[in-house]
C-alpha cells in the first residue's frame, strides 16, 4: 500500500506535548480510557452471554424517544446483534448484568475527555483556537450513542457482510473491538483496507458533521464490517460522538471562498438524524 492506503496511528499524548500539564492531563485521560477498555469489552460480552434473548428483546423499539434499543438481523446484507444506548449528555444502559453498566460507563467517561482533547487538537490543525470545535458543536451537551455489537463467526452468518458500507453522523466515531479484523475502511484511492487495531488502541473515524462544518476539507470515512475471516464471534463498540441535538451545523464561513462554495445545506443535528425517517438513537 502507499501511505494513503495506511491507517495512521497517533499517540494522543503527543498532541499536547508543548505544555507539560496539558500533556500530563491528556496522558491521564488516555490511560484511563485504555485501562477501562478491557472492562468495557467484558461488560458487552456479559450482556450478550448473561441475558437471554427474551430479556434482550425487552429493548425492541417502543417509541421514537427510546434511549436503549436492541436489534437482531441475519441476512445477506447484515449479520449482527446489537444494543444501542444513548450515553451523553445522559448515560443509559441496561441494569442487568451489573458488570455491563459500570464497566461501559467508566470507559465512556474517559472517552468523553479524550473527545474534548481531540476537539482541541483538530481545531488547531484547522488553524483555529483550541475551543473552536467544542463551541461549534456544543460538545458539553453533545448527543452520543454507543452501539454494542456481536458479530457471529463466518460459519454461522447468512453472508459475508456484517455491516454494509456507510459513514457515521457526528463529530467522530470511536471503535474498540476484542479480536483483529472485520473492520474495513475505504482509502482515498478506492481500496478497502482491513483495519488491524492493535491491542488497547481506539480507532477514530471522522464523522459527517465535521465534513459539513469544514465544507469537505476533512472527509467522513466510509467503512464496513466483513465476516469472511471471523473464526470466532467478534465483539465491538462503536460510539458516535455528536454535536448537541439543537446545534445548527453548516459549512463555516472560514471554509467557504470562490474556489470552495458551500457544498452542504445546514440543519440542526436532530433534524439531520431524523432526515431519513430514523429516530435519534438510530
Give the tens place of pLDDT for each residue, 205-238: 999 999 999 999 999 989 999 998 888 999 999 9
In a domain, 5, yes or no: no
266-275 — which CB contacts under 8 Å span 24+ positions?
A: 266/212, 269/143, 269/169, 269/170, 269/209, 269/242, 269/243, 269/244, 269/245, 270/143, 270/245, 270/246, 272/169, 272/208, 272/209, 273/169, 273/245
Q: What is the CATH number of the domain that holds 239?
A: 2.60.120.330
Please check whether residue 186 lies inside any domain of the structure: yes
Q: Does residue 9 fall inside a structural domain?
A: no
Any domain includes 24: yes
pLDDT score recorded for residue 3: 40
The Cα-based distances of 98 to 43, 53, 88, 108, 204 in angstroms read: 8, 17, 20, 16, 28
124-130-136-137 Cα dihedral, nearest 10 degrees = 90
Q: In this structure, is residue 7 part of a structural domain?
A: no
Q: Does some domain include residue 2? A: no
List the chain pLDDT tens, one digit each, 282 residues: 334 466 777 676 666 666 667 666 665 665 666 667 888 999 999 999 999 999 999 999 999 999 999 999 999 999 999 999 999 999 999 998 988 999 999 899 889 988 998 999 899 889 999 999 999 999 999 999 999 999 999 999 999 999 999 999 999 999 999 988 899 999 888 999 998 888 778 899 999 999 999 999 999 989 999 998 888 999 999 999 999 999 999 999 999 999 999 999 999 999 999 998 889 998
Residue 131 belongs to what domain range? 17-276
Judged on CB neighbours under 10 Å (0-12, 13-18, 19+), 20 is exposed
**Per the structure block, which three cell numbers stand in for 159?**
453472508
Model confidence pLDDT, tens digit, residues 112-149: 988 998 999 899 889 999 999 999 999 999 999 999 99
pTM of the model: 0.90
Give me the number of domains the chain comprises. 1
Amino acid at each position: 500500500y502507499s501511505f494513503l492506503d495506511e491507517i495512521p496511528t497517533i499517540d494522543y499524548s503527543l498532541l499536547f506535548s508543548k505544555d507539560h500539564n496539558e500533556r500530563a492531563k491528556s496522558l491521564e485521560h488516555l490511560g484511563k480510557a485504555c485501562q477501562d477498555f478491557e472492562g468495557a469489552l467484558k461488560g458487552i460480552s456479559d450482556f450478550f452471554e448473561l441475558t437471554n434473548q427474551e430479556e434482550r428483546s425487552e429493548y425492541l423499539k417502543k417509541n421514537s424517544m427510546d434511549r436503549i434499543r436492541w436489534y437482531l438481523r441475519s441476512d445477506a446484507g447484515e449479520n449482527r446483534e446489537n444494543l444501542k444506548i444513548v450515553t451523553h449528555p445522559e448515560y443509559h444502559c441496561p441494569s442487568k448484568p451489573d458488570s455491563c453498566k459500570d464497566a461501559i460507563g467508566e470507559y465512556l467517561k474517559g472517552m468523553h475527555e479524550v473527545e474534548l482533547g481531540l476537539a482541541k487538537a483538530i481545531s488547531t490543525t484547522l488553524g483555529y483556537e483550541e475551543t473552536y470545535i467544542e463551541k461549534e458543536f456544543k460538545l458539553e451537551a453533545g448527543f452520543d450513542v454507543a452501539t454494542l455489537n456481536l458479530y457471529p463467526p463466518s460459519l454461522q452468518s447468512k453472508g459475508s457482510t456484517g455491516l454494509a458500507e456507510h459513514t457515521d453522523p457526528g463529530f467522530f466515531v470511536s471503535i474498540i473491538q476484542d479480536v483483529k479484523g472485520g473492520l474495513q475502511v475505504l482509502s482515498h484511492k478506492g481500496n478497502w483496507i482491513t483495519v488491524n487495531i492493535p491491542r488497547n488502541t481506539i480507532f477514530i473515524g471522522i464523522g459527517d458533521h465535521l465534513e459539513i462544518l469544514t465544507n469537505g476539507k476533512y472527509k467522513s470515512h466510509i467503512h464496513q464490517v466483513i465476516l469472511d475471516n471471523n473464526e470466532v464471534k467478534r465483539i465491538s463498540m462503536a460510539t458516535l460522538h455528536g454535536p448537541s441535538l439543537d446545534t445548527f451545523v453548516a459549512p463555516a464561513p472560514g471554509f467557504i471562498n470562490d474556489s470552495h462554495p458551500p457544498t452542504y445545506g445546514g440543519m440542526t443535528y436532530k433534524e439531520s438524524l431524523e432526515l431519513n425517517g430514523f429516530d435519534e438513537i438510530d
